Structure 1
Amino acid sequence: MHIGILKTGHTPPDLEPEHGDYGAMFRRLMAGEGFSFTTWSVVDGEFPDSPEAADGWLITGSRHGAYEDHPWIPPLEQFIRDAFEADRPIVGVCFGHQIIAQAMGGKVEKFPGGWSVGPQVYHFPDGPRTVQAWHQDQVTQAPEGAQTVASSVFCTHAALLYPRKAYSVQPHPEFDDAFVLGLIETRGKGVVPDAQLEQARDTVGAPLDDAALAHQFATFFRERRIA
């Protein structure tokens, strides 16, 4: 199965030599699932010709807000709607989670409750899972027809299922501990409150459930379900 990765942001230059770009992170996360991948850098205006260019689509995270005025965001929203119409499954992570919701009529905002960074516990139907977080924006109103299938104390709509069309999550199963520590140094200082950065440093190293989410993504691509 051929998965197209729609890259919506760039990793910090100081971290990319060690960790790669967001496309490389998802290739590592999904290694062993039998997929092939092609990456389109939509943040740079590089788009597939049509949703039929791949069997399924994965939309990455980004430092940008879904509600911001960037020339690549409206065509990305239209591509998402076209993929729904073409019956190509979509998986979204963080910004990807938010832009799918916005494209389909939901609401994304800079959350007044602040930031969520480092390992966080999310409550899924089959139990709690710990996954890395790095966001202030979040989906505050789910689109009509989307089902909220995970939440946390900070994020009500932490995972959304659009039956047989899309599955998206707010946290980052593609982020390992070293990358989060790098984000704390390169993007966190002066942006995220110092106390939260210190708490994130203290909790990095907690056991993560990244493999469980990777399996969810693979199951959705293949079977249009998450369990």
Structure 2
Amino acid sequence: MSTDIAEPRIALLDASVGETPAERNFRRELDADVQAFKVSEGDLPPPVETSEMWPFDAAVISGSQTSVYDEHTWIDAVEAWTRAAVEAGVPILGVCWGHQLLAQALDGAVDPMGRYELGYHEVDRIADDPLFSGLDETFLAFETHSDEVTRLPSEATVLAENDRSLQAFRIANAWGVQFHPEYDLETARWVTENKRGEVADDELERILAAITTENAARARDAKGVFENFVAIAADT
């Protein structure tokens, strides 16, 4: 693995489909040398045989408009890549879809919720972990998902939850967070507007009204998971 502690190299597995703000958001929030791979188009990072020989220090898996259980060959490929990377000891952070993909790849389960968790919601941290160092026991974060992890992989530890779904877990060198620390106001509004027809109009307008600079400032603390993950990558 790279030995540049000042600026670790991170492979971003961009699972979003089409033109999205995903890569821009992660590049802004990760204080690292980020190389993006558009995995939804079949572009995977180099295979991981051993972490010492791999050209990156860590990997981040983004959100996506798909479900992890959809039948796409590229999802199968990302799942196999993720499983091998975890086994090789590479630090991995999965965000939203990436959180769910990580669970599924390691023999957990993901299922539809029957509704959306959308907008700013409080998250309760229920276990100490380096990924959440410096975060309050309850913090605000932006959510947008209609699937959830319903069964964790064996030996996984729950790190955070709320009244709607599992919000974070860890298994060995891999972490998943259901919420989106990388979102800015523009992305939060864009994602919410794209839910028209899937979410009732009155609820959608209420969520849009709550996407304010004040709530974005309150949710800024959740971005600490990126600073902590970069530190983990640098120390590996």
Give yes or no for TM over 0.5.
Answer: yes
Q: Secondary structure at the match of 1:158?
A: strand
Flag as ranges the 4+ runs of structure 1 deviating above 3 A. Answer: none
2:131 is aligned to none
Identity of aligned residues (%): 28
CA contact (8 A) 1:10 1:22 kept: no
**Aligned pairs (5 A) from 1:76-91:** 76-91=78-93
For the residues of structure 2 that align with 1:3 and 1:124, how far apart are their CA atoms? 26
Question: CA shift at 1:180, angstroms?
Answer: 1.3
Matched, 1:22 2:34: no
TM-score (norm 1): 0.87
2:155 is aligned to 145
For the residues of structure 1 that align with 2:77 and 2:226, how far apart are their CA atoms? 27
Distance 1:194 1:220, change over 3 A: farther
CA contact (8 A) 1:94 1:169 kept: yes
For the residues of structure 2 that align with 1:141 and 1:153, how far apart are their CA atoms? 16
2:169 is aligned to 160
**Aligned pairs (5 A) from 1:54-73:** 54-73=56-75
For the residues of structure 2 that align with 1:5 and 1:94, how far apart are their CA atoms? 14
1:116 is aligned to 117
CA contact (8 A) 1:94 1:135 kept: yes
Q: Secondary structure at the match of 2:73?
A: coil
Gaps of 5+ in 1: none
For the residues of structure 1 that align with 2:56 and 2:225, how far apart are their CA atoms? 21
Gaps of 5+ in 2: 1-7, 49-53, 127-135
Could you report, residue by residue, the CA deviation over 1:4-49 in whole angstroms, capped at 9, with x for unpaired residues?
A: 00010136x5xx5xxxx3122111112xx3x211111110001122
CA contact (8 A) 2:26 2:182 kept: yes
For the residues of structure 1 that align with 2:198 and 2:232, how far apart are their CA atoms? 35
CA contact (8 A) 2:182 2:223 kept: no
Question: CA shift at 1:217, angstroms?
Answer: 2.3
Tell me how large the CA RMSD over aligned residues is.
Answer: 1.6
For the residues of structure 1 that align with 2:13 and 2:206, how far apart are their CA atoms? 32
Distance 1:56 1:8, change over 3 A: same
TM-score (norm 2): 0.84
For the residues of structure 2 that align with 1:140 and 1:129, how far apart are their CA atoms? 22
